[in-house]
Amino acid sequence: MENDRTEKLRLIKDEVLALKSSPLYEERVASDVFPVIGEGDHYTSIMFIGEAPGKNEARTGRPFCGAAGKVLDKLLASAGIERKSVYITNIVKDRPPGNRDPLPEEIECYAPFLDRQIEIIQPEVIATLGRFSMDYIMRKFFLDQEIETISRMHGKEYDAKAPYGSVKILPLYHPAVAIYDRSKFGELEEDFKKLSKYIKEGK
Ligand code: URA
C-alpha cells in the first residue's frame, strides 16, 4: 500500500526533525538549515546511499542537489535511469560543518533511520556512494570479511540477506570524486551500467 510506505517515511522525517540528541542538531538550528531524509520512488528496486548533506542539500532539504548531484544526474542519465525512479538518501541526515567527513558518533546516531528506510523501501539493490556508506552497509549485512579498499570493491555486486529477502550491494565511488578526477567519471559510468538491469518495466 502506497500510503503505508509514505506514512512510515514521513514518521522518520518527523523524528529526525525533532532529534535534539543528534551531535549535529545545534549546528542545524544555528545555521537555519534542514535535515535531508531522502527522496524518490518509495517502490523502487534501486536505493542509493551517500554520505551526508552538503551546503546546497542542507539549504534545500534535498539529497544530491549540488555539484556532486550534477555528476550523479549525468551518471543516471548515462545508464538510462530516471532520477525519479530510484530512491536517494544518505547515512548522516544533517550536514557536518565545513563538509568534513562524518564522525563515527554521527553515523551511529543516524544509522537506525537508514536501517528503517531500507526495511520500508525493500530495494533489490543498494548502491553505496563512497566509502562511509559502503563500510556501514557491508557491516550491516555481515559482509565485514569482504571489505577492501573502495578502489578494489567498486562495481562488484555482493549478495546479502535482508529481513525482506535477498539484496545486492553495489559499492560505487562517491560522484564527487569525478569533479576533480575526470578519469573516475568513466569508471563510475561503467559501474552505473550494472544498475540498468534492476529497473523494472514501466519505471
Ligand atoms: N554528498 C553526499 O554524500 N550526499 C549528498 O546528499 C550530497 C553530497
Domain tally, the chain = 1
Is there a domain that residue 203 lies in? no
CA of 97 to the centre of ligand 1 (A): 13
Q: Is residue 141 part of a domain?
A: yes
Q: Over the stretch 133-143, which tens digit does the pLDDT of each residue have? A: 999 999 999 99
CA–CA separation, 53 and 144 (whole Å): 26
Question: Of ligand 1's atoms, which has the minimum distance to the CA of residue 62?
Answer: 6
Does the beta carbon of 51 sit less than 6 angstroms from any atom of ligand 1? Answer: yes
Question: For residue 153, is it within any domain?
Answer: yes
Q: From residue 185, give the alpha-carbon distance in Å to each of 61, 68, 128.
A: 26, 12, 16
What are 105-160's pLDDT values in tens digits?
Answer: 999 999 999 999 999 999 999 999 999 999 999 999 999 999 999 999 999 999 99
**Per-residue confidence of the chain (203 residues) as pLDDT tens digits?**
557 999 999 999 999 999 999 999 999 999 999 999 999 999 999 999 999 999 999 999 999 999 999 999 999 999 999 999 999 999 999 999 998 999 999 999 999 999 999 999 999 999 999 999 999 999 999 999 999 999 999 999 999 999 999 999 999 999 999 998 989 999 999 999 999 999 876 55
Range of the structural domain that residue 118 is part of: 4-197
- Determine if ligand 1 sits within 6 Å of the CB of residue 53: yes
Q: Which three cell numbers stand for residue 157?
A: 555486486
Mapped onto helix, strand or coil, the DSSP state of residue 166 is strand
* Location of C-alpha cell 545508464: 79
Q: Are 37 and 93 in contact (CB under 8 A)?
A: yes
Q: Which of 55, 57, 71, 132, when mutated, tests ligand 1's pocket best, judged by the most ligand atoms within 8 Å of its CB?
A: 57
Residue 98 forms part of a structural domain: yes
CA-closest candidate to residue 154, choices 126, 177, 131, 125? 131
CATH number at residue 47: 3.40.470.10
Is the model's pTM score more than 0.75?
yes
Q: Report the run of H or E that residue 87 belongs to, with start and end.
A: strand 87-90
- Give dist(CA 30, CA 46) in Å, integer: 34
